[in-house]
Structures are given as C-alpha cells and as structure tokens.
Amino acid sequence: MPAFKPAYLIHGDDHGRIGERRARLRAVAEAESGSGGVELFEGDTATPEAVALALSAMTFAVGRRFLIVDGVERWKDAEVAQHLGPALAAMPPDTTVAFFAREDGRAKVSAKLVAAVRQAGGDVAGEAVLKAKALPRWAVAEAAKLGITLELPAAQALVRHVGERQQRLLRELEKLALEHGRDARIGVDDVEAVAAPSAERQVWGLVDALVARDGPQATRALLELRAQGEAMPRLVPAMARRVRDVLAIATRLEAGESPAQVKASLRMSPFAADLRIKEARGTDAEALRRTLEALADLELAGRGNSELSDDTCAVRAIAEIAA
C-alpha cells in the first residue's frame, strides 16, 4: 500500500507533465479508495474557500479521502491565508489534498499556498519546461533511468527530429529502450532509424495538404503537430524543403520533360517519386513559389518580426497559401 502525505502541490509551466501527474494520482487514488473516495475541484468550484469547507466537513467515507484541486495558479495570497491556511494546518486524518497549478508568464502559484502545504507536512514539486539547450543532457539522464546509454550526439539528434516536448521525447526513449534492450548503447544512427522517419512522415502530411492548397486539412495537421510538441523552427524549414522538391519537379514538367524522365533522375523510392510527380502535376510552379514566399515570411515572423504567436502566424500563412 503506498504511503500518502497530507498534501501535495505540483506546479510549473510543463503543463503536459502536470497533466500526467494529475492523471496518475487520480488513478492511484481511485484504486486505493474507489471513485467515491475522490473529490474533484475544477473551474468555479476550485476556490480556497470551497476546498477549506470540504476539508472541515465530516465524511462517512471508508478509507483515505482524496481531494484533487485544479487551477490553483489563479489563487491569491490573501484568500489562501484567510481560508485555506487554517484548514491545512488542521488536516483531518486519512485525508490527502493535491493541488495542481499550470503556471505561465502571468499566473504563478501563491507563495502562501507553497508555505501552507509544506507546514502541513506535504510535498511541493515543480515541473518546468527545460530550455532547448538543456534537453539533450536531460534525455541522456532519462535514458540511463531506462537502462540504456544514449550518446550525447544521439540525444541532440533525437531533440532535432522529435521536438522539444519532454513527454514525447520520453516516449521515443522508451521505444528505443524496448527495441534495443537493457545496457544498449544508442548512437546517432539508431536514433535516425527510429525517430527521423516517424517525425518526417508527420510533416509530409502537412506539406501534402499545403501543396494541394487544402487549407482546413493543413490547419488540422499543423495543430496536431504543435500539440505533439513540434517546434515551429523545425517545422517551417522541413515544410519549405518539401515544397522546393515539388517545385523543382513542377518546373521540369512545365519545361517539357516527361514524368518518366523526371522519375528516372530522382533519388528516392519509385513510390515516393510517383507521389511527388503527382503532386507537381496537380499544381503549378507559380503557386509553389508563392507558398515558399509565405513560408519565408512565417520563418521571419518566428524570429521576432511579428507580435503574434507562432500558431497564429502559421494559421494565417496557411490561409494565404490556400486562398
């Protein structure tokens, strides 16, 4: 049986990791006490006063009682001190309360809540998104926990191909550990063989929609990639490379070369060559040039030439391309 502390506070700007920890805690709590022993506080019900009242209320539930509270990054010091501080100081037995704060630049967890959780004998844990330059060494350390040795150049390649989202990097590390086994040493070639094709195929679907000027499909593909942690600085060059490949084929076809001549000169599988030629024949070189111009503008916007978010700039670029 796991040993539970009276209180937990999980906070930080790694929202995906916080969501995973919340889901895991809820699963463990329901396994321990059943769904009736778990109380959720979300949205308008997640206030210091409401949680304090719940902690002070009598309950006839058998076993440990769990309170899971979301959105505490919005709480103010004054309301925590007034309502929740005294309740946490007099925690009832066999009760655990877990607070989850998804912080960003404007919303930070209350210092009073941090202090109250610690004074109640609870744990405070931060889940921060690592800077891009720190991710390779972090991946090396996580790989070691899985029983494999990830060389630093391989870790750098993994981040380059998969993106900067730590949860997705962990999934890729788990796949490498399963494929190669314990005590394996993972180099760049091993990472390229697993991660690169998967990541590139996802980008190809986005570019296919762009070349076809299918705005809704391209937007859906972009948002799915972003939700998986793909970074715009990686996506835009990958998109531009594919568009340039199709443009080169379209230019040759418009100049009078036959599809067979073009296919014979392409350094790719026959299947992939047929797809690229089909794409090129379904559009025109001028449209592809305009697409490249839009992607160039999008890349500049991502380097600080726009006050809009990366996603907003990307959706606008897609609308311009598909128009």
Which residues in 36-49 are b (16+ Cβ under 10 Å) and which e? ebbbebeeeebbbe
Say yes or no: 23 and 115 in one domain: yes
86 pLDDT higher than 70: yes
Please state, in angstroms and rounded to a whole number, the distance separating the CA atoms of residues 266 and 263: 5
Q: Any idea what the CATH number is for the domain that residue 210 is in?
A: 1.20.272.10
Answer yes or no: are the C-beta atoms of 69 and 99 closer than 8 Å: yes
132 pLDDT higher than 70: yes
Say yes or no: 116 and 12 in one domain: yes
Tens digits of residue pLDDT in 226-244: 777 777 887 888 788 888 8
Q: Kindly state the percentage of the chain with pLDDT values over 90.
A: 29
Say yes or no: 205 and 315 in one domain: yes
Say yes or no: 205 and 318 in one domain: yes
Looking at residue 91, its pLDDT comes to 86
185 pLDDT higher than 90: yes
Tens digits of residue pLDDT in 167-179: 778 888 888 888 8
- CB-side exposure of 2: number of CA atoms within 13 Å? 13
Burial class from Cβ neighbours inside 10 Å (0-12, 13-18, 19+) for residue 215 reads middle
Residue 112 structure tokens? 């009073």
When pLDDT is cut at 50, 70 and 90, the band that residue 298 belongs to is confident
Answer yes or no: are the C-beta atoms of 15 and 128 closer than 8 Å: no
Q: Any idea what the CATH number is for the domain that residue 144 is in?
A: 1.10.8.60
At residue 317, the 3 state secondary structure works out as helix
50 within some domain: yes
Tens digits of residue pLDDT in 7-62: 999 999 888 778 888 988 998 988 888 888 899 998 888 999 999 999 988 666 66
Provide mean pLDDT across the span 72-85.
92
> Whole domain around residue 62: which residue ranges?
7-126
- The lowest-confidence range among 70-79, 114-123, 135-144, 241-250 is 241-250
87 within some domain: yes
Q: pTM to 2 decimals? A: 0.50
290 within some domain: yes
Q: Which of 78, 108, 126 is the last residue of a domain?
A: 126
Say yes or no: 119 and 138 in one domain: no
Strand partners, 41: 69
Q: Which of 78, 109, 126 is the last residue of a domain?
A: 126
21 within some domain: yes
Tens digits of residue pLDDT in 201-213: 567 778 888 888 8
Structural domains in the chain (count):
3
Backbone φ and ψ of 303, nearest 5°: -95, 15
Please state, in angstroms and rounded to a whole number, the distance separating the CA atoms of residues 117 and 286: 62
Say yes or no: 113 and 170 in one domain: no
Handedness of CA 77, 80, 85, 86 (dihedral sign): positive
67 pLDDT higher than 70: yes
227 within some domain: yes
Looking at residue 188, its pLDDT comes to 87
Say yes or no: 144 and 121 in one domain: no
235 within some domain: yes
DSSP per-residue letters across 116-146: HHHHTT-EEEE--PPPGGGHHHHHHHHHHHT
Looking at residue 197, its pLDDT comes to 57
Tens digits of residue pLDDT in 300-319: 887 877 888 888 888 999 99
CB atoms < 10 A from the CB of 183, how many?
8
Looking at residue 271, its pLDDT comes to 59
Looking at residue 304, its pLDDT comes to 78
- The lowest-confidence range among 103-112, 152-161, 208-217, 229-238 is 229-238
Looking at residue 128, its pLDDT comes to 81
Say yes or no: 177 and 280 in one domain: no
- The lowest-confidence range among 100-114, 134-148, 160-174, 277-291 is 160-174
Say yes or no: 168 and 221 in one domain: no
Looking at residue 198, its pLDDT comes to 59
244 within some domain: yes
Tens digits of residue pLDDT in 265-274: 887 656 567 7
Q: Kindly state the percentage of the chain with pLDDT values over 70.
A: 93
When pLDDT is cut at 50, 70 and 90, the band that residue 117 belongs to is very high
11 within some domain: yes
Bigger pLDDT: 189 or 79? 79
Say yes or no: 85 and 107 in one domain: yes
Q: Which of 111, 126, 141 is the last residue of a domain?
A: 126
Say yes or no: 87 and 24 in one domain: yes
Say yes or no: 112 and 139 in one domain: no
